[in-house]
Chains A and B, each alone.
Chain A
Amino acid sequence: MNTALSILRRHPSIAIGGMIVLVVVGAALLAPWLSSYDPAAQNLIARLRPPGTPEHLLGTDRYGRDVLSRVLYGARVSLVVGPASVLIAVSLGLSLGLTAGYFGGRTDMLIGRIFDVMLAFPSILLALAIVAALGPSMGNMILAIGLSMTPTFGRVIRSAVIAVRARDYIASARALGAGHLFTIVTHVLPNILSSVLVVATVAIASAILVEATMSFLGLGVPPPTATWGSMVADGKGMFLNAPWIVISAGLPITITVLGFSLLGDGIRDWLDPRSK
């Protein structure tokens, strides 16, 4: 407990980032209790009410939907899509990066080529093209963002593996008769986990940005599900008269992304003091 506190004190990024993430997760979980409105329920009598009214703390949109409850429920989409797509990218990146870095040679070259090709497409384009082909849904979006981020992970993991691969304990394990799979699982994997953790935390931030962008472009989780990106797109044309819609949805995106990137930066400084 004491050590945890001292880590937080020496790395305020972890404390601040972690706090932000906790608040956002809490808001998403407690959405039904924090707001009594159905995020999709329209009320055409109460259209475009400004924020601050007792019934609607953040006002209403052009269909009379409560902006606060849409923001709270929108957090759920970002918080599911972000980590889930990173999970896909990590699993694929781990299998490919480990194989490339551990075996080297032709395998490495082939996998490296695949990464090169994927990286020639901006990741948002790759994700958009995959979703446009598969059809817009939460699952397809997670898959698309995960696939588009795979080469970035694969590269990081590959270079981490190459560094570990050259160590003497790997050679000793092999000399003692350990098989490749055993060596990878017991000796390589534990030694690259910290790099994976850092990259994964920062990647959640970018995944949430990509999700918001896709929703903004109309290729995210389809309506009536509330997403932050689609709320901004919805409020964009009314910014002069009803700026609260764009701001209420845009601010949480920035804050959440900031939270995850601070957390990632902090963890990196903590695990690798030289990087500062």
Chain B
Amino acid sequence: MGATKTNNGNIFSKLIKQQLFIPLAALLILIIFNLIMDPSFLKITLGYNNIGNPVLSGYIIRILDNGSEVAILAIGMTLVTAASGGQDISVGAAVAIAGSVLLRVLCGSNTHPETLQAPIIVGFLVSCLVAMLFGAFNGVLVAYFKIQPMVATLILYTAGRSIAAWVNNNELPIISEASFGYFGGYIPGIPVPTPLIIAVACMVAIGLVLKFTNLRLYTQAVGINESSSKLNGLNPQLIKLLSFVILGICVAVVGLIKVSRNSTINYSVIAKDIEMDAILAVALGGNALGGGKFSMAASIIGAYVIQLLTTTLFKFKVPSDALPAYKAVVVIILVVISAPVVREWFSSMIKKFQTKEVA
């Protein structure tokens, strides 16, 4: 083999080895595909909505807006996956609880209040606290009782929506206060959808946390080798618990956005199957679902890839109920491509091919 050739091979294989490669490639392919089918895909226009506020519109804006929830949950899910080597399947149910608590605080005993019974921030903080408590519940089962994460969170998955209904006595409070709708819509005067702003805020927050604390190092160490991190003075249980609590905060934020979008709640439908999308985002980002090293950016991009895929499918008139089938095909292709066994097979095939070429 010539020197130039190996060099080329190196650059290419280095590129492929980058964790961001798969989600970015998927993003790019989807965007190009969309552009070919509809050249105006990337166009963003500034218009006014029915109450006269300036709003940006266009497919990209819609994707960024609707993808916010999954992106926010992907942040917490990445940490849980990295630390515990498993996934939390109760986030959808937990979002229902957080949303229900929020409504309960804001509405008080009256289901259709004229005015809010408490400031929104108080409602949010209470729901945040509740979501963190439920996160801690999952975390305790996983960290201290050593139950597999998926199974431990199965408990809350089963009970969550029932608890959410119980919080409001199975009634459906409706909030008519306009300012509550800002979180899921637009703040007057700002043309960017608020969920996007919140999502970016969350990303900045986690970025800062990762930069100014040892969260990344500790989480990765615990996820890769629990017993060794214990001997280095870490407390693996506490760190696992922490990751579930952080996921709880993400859940509360998503609860706020979801409830605000509708001004009400439907216990059995709100954030349905969102846990699957969040886990998928983590997997799409190329993070090992068995825990260990993680890339937060890759997970977040993964979340938007999912939203882009969903929007694209909608555009082609795929009914929303049939979406999962297409998603499943994408997931299967992705996991098969990234399976070590398949990769090994590929590289041995390439080697064989190259040696033949040389001979």
Partners in one complex: no
Residues of A within 8 A of B (CB): none
Residues of B within 8 A of A (CB): none
